[in-house]
Amino acid sequence: MKFIHLSDLHIGKVVNGFSMLDEQRNVFNQVLKYIKKEKPTAVLIAGDIYDRVIPGVEAIRLFDDFLTELSCENVTVMIIAGNHDSPDRINYASRLLSEKNIILYGAFNGDMQKCVLKDEYGKVNFWLLPFIKPFSVREYFKNNEIESYDDALNIILKNSDIDYSSRNVLVSHQFFTKDGVTLFRSESELNSVGGLDAINAELIEKFDYAALGHLHGEQSVGSEHIRYAGSPIKYSFSEWQQKKSITLIELNKKNDLKITSLPLKPIHDMREIKGKIDNLMSDEVSSLGNKKDYLRVILTDELEIIDPIGKLRSVYPNVMCIDFDNSRKNIDAGTIYADSEDIKKLSPYDLFCEFFLKSQGSVMTEEQIKITRELLEQEEAV
């Protein structure tokens, strides 16, 4: 049996002020082409369908278009909610859509949802488990001590009627880890402090394949059959060197598994460039890549630059952010992205100083400080 594993669509995501809707529409079209070519029996989407709990209208429309196209391809689509999703919104119209072989499981109801498909070797049991937290599981198992994420998953598995002598596939959106295995975590993921959300991957070792969502980099968790498909698009510059893909699984008889990564090509890639601004803007350097890529630019100029992002965008229209790497950068400019409570404590002058430092890579001169103070005083007097 062939099936496709993808996750972390984050439909509607905005990265550094740039909407990713066109990029998402582009990769969905590529997924549909792969489905037409490979003719899988099922498509598994392992959570984080939307980027926000309340998605925008355009995001909902895009997912509606994608599901409508999938429903025409004679595949069974299985979808679970991730930590970014509203479980009840993912559940919406699930009974009606199940008649079109689109299985939605958003809000955990005490059990894993089981979907059985058949091929020439017999049954394959797909077990769907949306994103859970210990307190949401505790509600259904009140006579059990459930403190950790490990406890929560363990009690769910023990109370599920899983015959491990048959072929079983898990679809889950959690942070699975294994001793001795280093996993790549992206800046675009929600990271729990201290790894409190981590679950031991040994709990799901007996499944023939575990289709995981949550981490944005394609990777396995110790064993090849326990796998994150990763996000189909680069959603932060911590991912800029990754090659995005979806995962094609061929599960034949028991213990006969083949995994293939099917590459996805973005409209605009995400990459970093570094150097002095005049050199980066030269034809010799700018012609080395697609000028319309999404860029993080690291400037090494020692002299102050007036409107660096404006200059760079005259050559590279999709510059997303600028950083500086020079001898004057001895102050942490990252505080401009501080916690909202910290920002509230800063004066307008302090906030502008932080912004100037982040955008220019240097502190203001005495003349610039004087002009800034005069303008702010004029504003307060109005």
Each residue of 254-297: pLDDT tens digit?
999 999 999 999 999 999 999 999 999 999 999 999 999 999 99
> Binning pLDDT at 50, 70 and 90, where does residue 378 land?
confident
pTM of the model: 0.84
Task: Name the percent of the chain lying above pLDDT 90.
Answer: 75
Strand partners for 261: 247
pLDDT of residue 359: 62
Give the model confidence (pLDDT) of 140-156 as tens digits: 998 899 999 999 999 99
pLDDT tier at 235, thresholds 50, 70, 90: very high
Residue 336's pLDDT band (cuts 50, 70, 90): very low
DSSP for 293-315? SEEEEEE--SS--SSHHHHHHTT
Q: Residue 234 and residue 52: Cα distance in Å, rounded?
A: 17
pLDDT at 103 over 90: yes
Q: Residue range 236-240: average pLDDT?
A: 93
pLDDT surpasses 60 at 334: no
Coil vs helix vs strand at 34: helix
Which distant-in-sequence residues (6+ apart) come within 8 Å of 162 by Cβ? 125, 127, 168, 206
For residue 126, is pLDDT > 80?
Answer: yes
Q: Examine the pLDDT at 333 and tell me if it is beyond 80.
A: no
Confidence (pLDDT) at 87 = 94
Residue 379 pLDDT: 73
pLDDT band at 303 (very low <50, low <70, confident <90, very high): confident
Query: What Å distances lie between residue 272 and 11, 60, 295, 298, 361, CA to CA?
Result: 24, 31, 6, 7, 17
pLDDT category at 372 given cuts 50, 70, 90 is: confident
Q: Which residue has the higher pLDDT, 25 or 353?
A: 25
Compute the distance between CA of residue 280 and CA of residue 273 in angstroms, rounded to an integer: 8
- 108-114 contacts: CB < 8 A, separation 24 or more? 108/132, 108/136, 108/137, 109/140, 110/139, 110/140, 110/141, 111/156, 111/159, 111/160, 112/156, 112/160
Q: What is the full DSSP assignment across 165-219?
A: TSEEEEEEESEEE-TT------TTS-PPGGGTTEEEGGGGTTSSEEEEES-SS-E
> pLDDT band for position 329 (50/70/90)?
low
Mean pLDDT, residues 291-311: 92
Which residue would you say has higher pLDDT here, 115 or 182? 115
- Residue 205 CA: distances (Å) to CA of 164, 169, 223, 380: 10, 11, 8, 63
Q: Give the strands of the sheet with 319-324, arranged side by side.
A: 270-275, 294-299, 319-324
Averaged pLDDT for residues 226-252: 96
Query: Are 218 and 230 a contacting pair, CB within 8 Å?
Result: yes
Give SS3 for 238: helix
User: pLDDT higher for 24 or 379?
Assistant: 24
Q: Residue 358: which pLDDT band, with cuts at 50, 70 and 90?
A: low
